[in-house]
Amino acid sequence: MKQLRHSVIRAGLEALYFTGAHHLLRPIFAGIGGIFMLHQVRPGRGGAFQPNRHLEVTPGFLRATLLHLRTQDIDVIPMDEVYRRLVERDFSRRFACFTFDDGYRDNRDFALPVLREFDAPFTVYVTSDFAEGTGRLWWIALEAVIARAHSIEVEIGGAATRFDADTPPAKQAAFDRLHDWLRGLPGEQDLAREIGALCARHGVDQAAICRDLCLSWDELKSLADDPLIAIGAHSITHCNLARQAEPAARHEMVAGRERIEAAMQRPVVHLAYPYGDKGAAGAREFALARTAGYRTAVTTRPGMIFPENANHPTALPRVSLNGNYQDARILPVLTSGAATAMWNGFRRVDAA
Ligand SMILES: [Zn+2]
């Protein structure tokens, strides 16, 4: 199913490109700018089983994106400036803003050098448990489990279920199924228990994954001294906020912010909701982010920024730079707003 979805999305992007429809849609859907969402940035890896590839782009694709923005005469600005332009309704020039979720070390090692070439500012949204080295990047742990397993057994809904994991296609199918199952579990404790059991059974060390991939507090502190970089918050544990009771969701937003501020010795006023889709961030979270004192908060809902978004600064949509579609030809389609419009049902603003 996932492969089919990729094909449909790619076909849609290519159709928009080859028909030139993005030129027609640009005046309607390009808005005043866009906020790009990225996760990891690193050189491409070999290997057929890369189920999290949508969450990483190469330094080369990042450079192609920045070059495209330069030819379009689009300003690359930090989140503080996005907020200022929204509040002051300064829409005279189009903008792009770069944001990186979770706090990966490769943001420093591979993204920063490219962004520096273009003097492009960016925001890194930090999950404080990841910086602490105690967080659970369960989707990467699941990839590690399946990569080394020949078969996997779990109890789903009271029934023992066995997944073949001998070949790359079988591994991908097992990943899709187990990923959906884990994300659908009722509570964070259930997710922690199940992924913990899988890791224990297959010899995967979750804490080591976290320390291996994520910037530590010390590393973040020196990174934050760079004038190009702003540090934002991405909760304490990377939980689905919408599924938490209100006090717990508020705690994730408030205490997560305080932990980063204490470590960085500077204010944190920008938030990214973990997962960030409609099932993880809705009206209650948008209000909580406001009362927690965040100036802006970004979702993973697809969309460009329009003047109307000034009324909803804690419900901002983004444009994903997706590792499965690293083709420079799609960049004009993305900045035209045609792709995000296609994905969000041709709505301009969706902040409810
Ligand atoms: Zn995240």
Q: Phi and psi for 347 in degrees, rounded to 5?
A: -100, 150
Centre of ligand 1 to C-alpha 172, Å, is 21
- Kindly list the distances between the CA atom of residue 309 and the CA atoms of 71, 315, 352, in Å, as whole numbers in the listed order: 26, 8, 11
Instruction: Provide the token pair at 96.
Output: 């792009």
- What is the structure's pLDDT at 19? 74
Per DSSP, the residues of 292-337 read: TT-SEEEEEEE--B-GGGGG-TTSEEEEE--GGG--GGGHHHHHTT
Give the predicted TM-score (pTM) of the model.
Answer: 0.93
- What is the structure's pLDDT at 335? 85
> What is the C-alpha to C-alpha distance for residues 336 and 130, in angstroms, rounded to an integer?
35
- What is the structure's pLDDT at 4? 67
> What is the C-alpha to C-alpha distance for residues 284 and 293, in angstroms, rounded to an integer?
14
Centre of ligand 1 to C-alpha 55, Å, is 10
- Kindly list the distances between the CA atom of residue 43 and the CA atoms of 40, 55, 110, 111, 122, in Å, as whole numbers in the listed order: 10, 13, 8, 10, 20
- Kindly list the distances between the CA atom of residue 39 and the CA atoms of 54, 125, 183, in Å, as whole numbers in the listed order: 9, 10, 19
Centre of ligand 1 to C-alpha 18, Å, is 33
Centre of ligand 1 to C-alpha 274, Å, is 5
Centre of ligand 1 to C-alpha 245, Å, is 20
Residue position matching structure tokens 């640009």 = 26
Centre of ligand 1 to C-alpha 102, Å, is 5
Centre of ligand 1 to C-alpha 241, Å, is 12
- What is the structure's pLDDT at 1? 57
Q: From first to last of its 352 residues, what are the pLDDT tens digits of the chain?
A: 566 677 777 777 777 777 777 777 677 667 899 999 999 999 998 889 999 999 999 999 999 999 999 998 999 999 999 999 999 999 999 999 999 999 999 999 999 999 999 999 999 999 999 999 999 999 999 999 999 999 999 998 889 999 999 999 999 999 999 999 999 998 889 999 999 999 999 999 999 999 999 999 999 999 999 999 999 999 999 999 999 999 999 999 999 999 999 999 999 999 999 999 999 999 999 999 999 999 999 999 999 999 999 999 999 999 999 888 888 888 888 888 877 777 777 777 777 7
Centre of ligand 1 to C-alpha 266, Å, is 22
Per DSSP, the residues of 224-281 read: HTSTTEEEEE--SS---GGGS-HHHHHHHHHHHHHHHHHHHTS---EEE-SS-STTT-
Centre of ligand 1 to C-alpha 47, Å, is 24
